[in-house]
Amino acid sequence: MESLKLASEYRGGSGKGVCRKLRAQGRVPAVLYGHSEEPVKISFNERDFHRVLRVRGETAIIGDSVKLYQGVTLGALSLPRDDTGALIRNRKRHPTLEDNVTIYSGATILGGDTVIGKGSVIGGNVWITESVPPYSKVTYEAHVHYSRTKAAR
């Protein structure tokens, strides 16, 4: 297994304001969780962080100036099977994010053939399993249905 180093710094405070200031300075705010330890607030240099993601990201490819917010999943779909039913391995299973893509909180992007085109914006809580053309905006609209209970009638 290859070993990579990613330098981090402790960061003071938390919240949107602190994180915005860090991002403006080219830093990626993060929280490190450990087994039965208190979470530690840290930050990384943005370029170093993306360089490590490019190398360590399983088969995900992440372009330059990509913004990933918390809770984003870059995952794989199920492995395909050949004619005999055996799993087909050793193929790209995770998505490609081209340059200048922004992906907001809670988005899930799955599949090795899935490419998020350059300059696209993916909204929060979106589930994507197909490619998105360059300079696209993908959002999720929830349709909430409610009715009155018998007691309220």
**Residue 29 three-state SS:** strand
The reply to whether the predicted model has a pTM over 0.85 is: no
More confident residue, 4 or 94: 94
What is the Cα–Cα distance from 41 to 9, expressed in whole angstroms?
9
Q: Which helix (H) or strand (E) holds 63?
A: none
What is the pLDDT at residue 94? 87
Per-residue confidence at 98, pLDDT binned at 50, 70, 90? very high
Low-confidence winner among 18-32, 48-62, 115-129 (lowest mean pLDDT):
48-62
Domains and CATH numbers, the chain: 7-55 (2.40.240.10), 57-140 (2.160.10.10)
What is the pLDDT at residue 44? 87
Q: Under a CB-based contact definition with an 8 Å cutoff, are residues 105 and 99 in contact?
A: no
Residue 58 φ/ψ region, left for φ over 0, alpha for ψ in the -120 to 50 degree band, beta for the rest: left
Q: Under a CB-based contact definition with an 8 Å cutoff, are residues 132 and 116 in contact?
A: yes
The DSSP output letter for 87 is: B
